[in-house]
Amino acid sequence: MAAPDQVTDPVGSRLLRRLRDSGPLSRAELASGLEVPRARLLSELDSLLAAGLVQEAGPAESRGGRRSTLVELNRDLRFAAVDLGARSIDVEITDGRLEPIAVHSEPADIRSGPKVILHRVSEILAKFKVDGAYDRLQAIGIGIPGPVSFRDGVPVSPPIMPGWDRFPVREVLGREHGCPVVVDNDVNIMAIGERYGGVARMTDNLLFVKIGTGIGCGIYVGGQVYRGTDGCAGDIGHIQVEDDGPVCSCGNIGCLEAYFGGGALGRDALAAARSGQSPALAERLSNSGALTAADVAAGAAEGDATCVQLIRDGGRRVGTVLAGLVSFINPSMIVIGGGLAGLGHLLLAEIRSVVYRRSLPLATGNLPIVMSELGARAGVVGAAVLASDLAYGQPS
């Protein structure tokens, strides 16, 4: 197969992405809507066939007359999608249409540093290869939990990733695996995944709000991912929601993240359990020795008043920040994802209530605020989209 970074022809790039998104097509179907002269299209298709990126896929279903032949992406194309979290590594190997071939998840501490973590990523990929999941990768997409210089493929001053600042992630993985690599922020890859294969398909102006250990936002404007001047757009966890209040990990006070998100919720749940304020949390703490957002969700489902209030308070503060952002950016959709999306309808209802009450009516008249469809898979799906865009010649 050709090295995927050789696909620089815009027609070839569009053909590959069309086959990725639609599956096997006849030449006539492939041509429709592309507005490219048929001879040009057929010649480009021949190049892709010769390069081994595309293959014949047998005859189309007969509609009378001569049967046409379908073409499809070479079934041996493979991408690697990696989602590094603060405490996890998720990896998928996908085919050229981004369908998963092999999946692996394991706990890991991002603070172990880039050498340890990327070495482990490479071990996981090598194991997949030995097991036959791939022969050769076309490209790797990887998301990391901090700001990224998308152009340079390096983390930039990531607050929770000691040792990673400007570490050459793209270069190291590319050299190790002999293929192009694309590096992005973990929230951006979730937004990209959700817009490609989830609830936000074709949405032009999207806010994807990740509520996990921390809180961040992926942004689409005009159908394009927006990463900001320094690659740190969407850092909404440190927007101030109260003039005073708990000190945040960033050193400021009153940040959204100091009130809500996995870290803050765990802290508040522990306090409510220990003070006896929440019988449900106290029982769970004595059973398991620790408390997470899932315990708060379970407590709320059982009707524990403190758990319900913790979720409502968090939703109200997220809603207050989002209400301001809706007035500012006038999006067409907001998607809530990340680990704490598991808090469910109670969280969503509170967020909606504040945004719909506080933002300009014109901006909320047709504004859906919905839960992520892809859930925990959003990140790897987005990483695979980025990898395939790179290989198929479409800058993301």
Chain contacts with its own copies (rule: CB under 8 A): 147, 156-157, 204-205, 217, 219, 221-222, 224, 226-236, 238-240, 250, 252, 320-321, 323-325, 327-332, 357-363, 365-367
Q: Which amino acid is at 16?
A: L
**Both tokens assigned to 380:** 């790897």
Give the alpha-carbon dihedral of 149, 153, 156, 162, to 10 degrees.
Answer: 160
| Cβ closest to its own copies, residue 33 vs residue 222 | 222
Residue 91 to residue 224: CA distance in whole angstroms: 25
Taking the complex as a whole, how short is the minimal distance between the CB of residue 378 and its own copies, in angstroms?
A: 20
336 Cβ contact partners less than 8 Å away, ≥ 6 residues apart = 209, 211, 347, 348, 351, 369, 370, 371, 372
Output the smallest distance, CB 81 to its own copies, in A.
Answer: 25
Distance CA 374, CA 224 (A): 20
Shortest gap between Cβ of 237 and its own copies (angstroms)?
8
Residue 29: is it exposed, middle or buried by C-beta count within 10 angstroms (0-12/13-18/19+)? middle
Alpha-carbon span 189 to 144, nearest angstrom: 9
Would you give the distance in Å from CA 106 to the centre of its chain? 18
Q: Give the DSSP per-residue string, 367-391.
A: --EEE-SSGGGHHHHHHHHHHHHHH
The nearest distance, CB 72 to its own copies, in angstroms, is 34
* Residue with smaller CB distance to its own copies, 23 or 328: 328
Q: How far is the CB of 285 from its own copies (least distance, A)?
A: 32
Query: How far, in Å, CA of 353 to CA of 102, rounded?
Result: 41
Q: State whether the Cα torsion 301-303-307-309 is positive or negative.
A: positive
Beta carbon nearer to its own copies, 277 or 327: 327
Question: At closest approach, how far in Å is the CB of 164 from its own copies?
Answer: 14
Q: Which is nearer to its own copies, 217 or 381 (CB)?
A: 217
CB-nearer residue toward its own copies: 154 or 376 = 154
Question: From the CB of 381, what's the least distance to its own copies, in Å?
Answer: 24
